[in-house]
Amino acid sequence: MTKLLFLCIALGALVVAAGAQGTWKLSRDLLATNNQISFSQGSNGVWYFLQSSSSKHDSKTYKFLSDYSIPCKTNGAEALIPGVDCWRNPNLDPQGNNAPLVGANFTYQTQFPNLASGDPFGIPARSVWMHPGISGELAIIGWKSPITGTVDVSGFFSDLDPNCGDGIVWSVDKGGGARLTSGTIGNGGPPQSYSLTGISVTAGQVLYFVVDRNRDYFCDSTGVDVTIKSE
């Protein structure tokens, strides 16, 4: 009887573990340890942070954002806030900014990095955000599938900075060039969500979550989250 009880407990633990391994959530996975252990290239075995060299959606040309900035600093006027970190382009653009970037607010309150420069946009607590580049360089989060099968993909993009600019263009792409869904958020517009079901993937294939400027890149800080569940 005791052996049977232990067997049932062990099998139950395996079922729970298998279920956990079948769900990936960007914010949960990246914010798990409050530092670069979880917010790293290859986080949770699946998440990557990238940029393109142009506005073209061509995954063969994507490369890693290579500079981990802790605390995140993307221009000379930005405040250094402990707990707000980012992967960024190591090179300054003509405006003096390190973009594209993917950042995370590990703190439990909204943070305002650009107050000193007169831009009061806030990064929500326990959240992930992105910013594209000045010349059409895309900010990209990649999910590299650890499985072969089908997945459901849901999430949102949100305009965090309505104080200037003309909004952003977002998309969800599948490695190989397929655009799964996309949208445009005008400056100060409401968040846009998506829900995709039955997306076939093979182990090693990548889904890309992309933010592009609209006509300019000013005030294009964009909130993002993604949940992927295996069927």
CATH code for the domain of 143? 2.60.120
**Which pLDDT tens digits describe the chain residue by residue (231 residues)?**
443 333 333 334 333 333 345 999 999 999 999 888 999 999 999 999 999 999 999 999 999 999 999 999 988 777 789 999 999 999 999 999 999 999 999 999 999 988 777 778 899 999 999 999 999 999 999 999 999 999 999 999 999 999 999 999 999 999 977 999 999 999 999 999 999 999 999 999 999 999 999 999 999 999 999 999 999
**Look-up of token digits 């000193």:** 116
Domain count, the chain: 1
**Domain presence at residue 2:** no
Full strand arrangement of the beta sheet holding 47-51? 63-64, 47-51, 139-144, 206-213, 168-174, 178-185
**Domain presence at residue 127:** yes
**Taking the chain, what is the end-to-end CA distance rounded to the nearest angstrom?**
35
Pairing relationship of beta strands 206-213 and 139-144 according to DSSP bridges: antiparallel
**Domain presence at residue 1:** no
**Domain presence at residue 20:** no
**Domain presence at residue 11:** no
Domain containing 31 equals 26-230
Q: Which DSSP category does 59 fall into?
A: G
User: Quick one: pLDDT at residue 115?
Assistant: 79
Q: How far is CA 185 from the centre of its chain?
A: 17
How far is residue 33's CA from residue 176's CA, in Å, rounded to a whole number? 33
User: Quick one: pLDDT at residue 21?
Assistant: 56
Cβ neighbourhood burial of 93 (10 Å; 0-12, 13-18, 19+): middle
User: Quick one: pLDDT at residue 47?
Assistant: 98
**Domain presence at residue 21:** no
**Domain presence at residue 5:** no
**Residue-level length of the chain:** 231
User: Quick one: pLDDT at residue 34?
Assistant: 86
**Angle ∠(102,103,105) on CA atoms, nearest 5:** 160
